[in-house]
A and B are shown apart, each in its own frame.
Chain A
Amino acid sequence: MFKILRSSMPVESICIMEVQAERIAKSCLPGQFIIAKIDEEGERIPLTICDYDEKKGTITIVFQIMGASTYRMSKLGVGDGFQDFVGPLGQPSEFTKEPVEELKKKKFLFVAGGVGTAPVYPQVKWLKEHGVDADVIVGAKTKDILILEDEMKKVATNLYITTDDGSYCRKGMVTEVIKDLIENEGKKYDVCVAIGPMIMMKFVCLMTKEFSLPTIVSLNPIMVDGTGMCGACRVTVGGKVKFACVDGPEFNGHEVNFDEAMKRQQLYKTEEGQAYLREKEGNTHHGGCGNCGGEK
Chain B
Amino acid sequence: MDVNVKVPVREQDPKERAKNFEEVCYGYNKEEAMQESERCLNCKNARCIKGCPVSINIPAFIQEVKAGNFEEASRIISESSSLPAVCGRVCPQESQCEGQCIRGIKGEPVSIGKLERFVADWARENNIKPEGAKEKNGKKVAVIGSGPAGLTCAGDLAKLGYEVTIFEALHKAGGVLVYGIPEFRLPKEKVVSKEIENVISLGVKIETNVIVGRTIKVDELLDEFDAVFIGSGAGLPKFMGIEGENANGVYSANEYLTRSNLMRAFDESYDTPINPGKKVAVVGGGNVAMDAARTALRLGAEVTIVYRRSEEELPARAEEVHHAKEEGIKFNLLTNPVKILVDEKGWVKGMTCVKMELGEPDESGRRKPVKVEGSEFDLEVDTVIMSLGTSPNPLISSTTEGLDINKWKCIVADEEFGQTSKEGVYAGGDAVTGAATVILAMGAGKAAAKGIDEYCKKK
Contact = CB atoms under 8 A, between A and B. Distances in A.
Interface in B213-259: 214-217, 235-237, 239, 241, 245-248, 251-252, 254-255, 258-259
A224 interface: yes
B373 interface: no
A38 B263 CA distance: 13
A246 B179 CA distance: 19
Contacts of A207: none
Contacts of A72: 271
Nearest to B249: A267
A230 B271 contact: no
Contact of A224 (B210, B236, B258, B269): B258
B248 A263 contact: yes
A118 interface: no
A80 interface: no
B346 interface: yes
Given A84-B171, A86-B169, A264-B246, A246 B395 contact: yes
Nearest to B270: A41
Of A72, A86, A235, A260, most B-chain CB atoms within 10 Å:
A86
Interface stretch (A149-157, A194-202, A268-276): A268-276
A271 B210 CA distance: 29
A42 interface: yes
A224 B255 contact: yes
Contacts of B237: 229-231
B210 A275 contact: no
From B209, B211, B235, B255, name the one whose CB has the most chain A CB atoms within 10 angstroms. Answer: B209
A225 B263 CA distance: 10
B275 interface: yes
A23 B210 contact: yes
Contacts of B272: 43
B274 interface: yes
Contacts of A236: 246
Most buried by A among B237, B263, B272: B272
Interface string B411-426: 0000000000000000
B437 interface: no
A296 B301 CA distance: 12
* Range, interface on chain B: 35 or more
Contacts of A58: none
Given A41-B269, A86-B169, A263-B345, A231 B393 contact: no
Contacts of B251: 231-232
Contacts of A88: 214-215
A245 to B, nearest CB: 10
B255 A231 contact: yes
A173 B8 CA distance: 71
A16 to B, nearest CB: 22
Contacts of A271: 273-275
Nearest to A262: B346
A228 B346 contact: no
A44 B171 contact: yes
A152 to B, nearest CB: 27
B51 interface: no
B394 interface: yes
A63 interface: no
A43 B263 CA distance: 7
A110 interface: no
Nearest to B233: A229
B170 interface: yes
Interface string B164-184: 000001110000000100000
A291 interface: no
B29 interface: no
B258 A246 contact: no
B208 interface: yes
A23 B169 contact: no
**B208, B210, B215: residue with the most chain A Cβ atoms closer than 10 Å:** B215
A87 interface: yes
A85 B209 CA distance: 7
Nearest to B215: A23
A228 B209 contact: no
B221 to A, nearest CB: 12
A258 to B, nearest CB: 13
B170 to A, nearest CB: 6
A15 interface: no
A263 B248 CA distance: 7
B346 A263 contact: yes
Contact of A44 (B236, B247, B263): B263
A105 B423 CA distance: 41
Contacts of A27: 214-217
Contacts of A268: 273, 275
Nearest to A71: B271
A231 B235 contact: no
Nearest to B217: A27
B236 A272 contact: no
A256 to B, nearest CB: 12
Given A229-B236, A236-B246, A87 B252 contact: no
Contacts of B247: 263
A227 B169 contact: yes
Interface in A83-110: 83-89
A267 B255 CA distance: 13
A260 B245 CA distance: 11
Contacts of A68: 271
B246 A246 contact: no
Contacts of B395: 227-228, 246
A260 B346 contact: yes
Among A24, A40, A42, A231: residue with most chain B CB under 10 A: A231
Nearest to B246: A260
A128 B239 CA distance: 42
Contacts of B254: 229-231
A87 B211 contact: yes
Contact of A86 (B171, B236, B248, B271): B171
A43 B269 CA distance: 11
A231 B239 contact: yes
A68 B269 CA distance: 12
B252 A86 contact: no
A228 B246 contact: no
The 3 closest A-B pairs by CB, nearest first: A271-B273, A263-B346, A230-B255
Given A224-B255, A241-B241, 11 more contacts: A41-B269, A41-B270, A86-B169, A86-B209, A225-B170, A225-B179, A228-B235, A232-B252, A260-B346, A268-B275, A272-B273
11 contacts: A27-B216, A27-B217, A86-B169, A225-B170, A228-B394, A231-B255, A241-B246, A246-B393, A260-B246, A266-B346, A267-B248
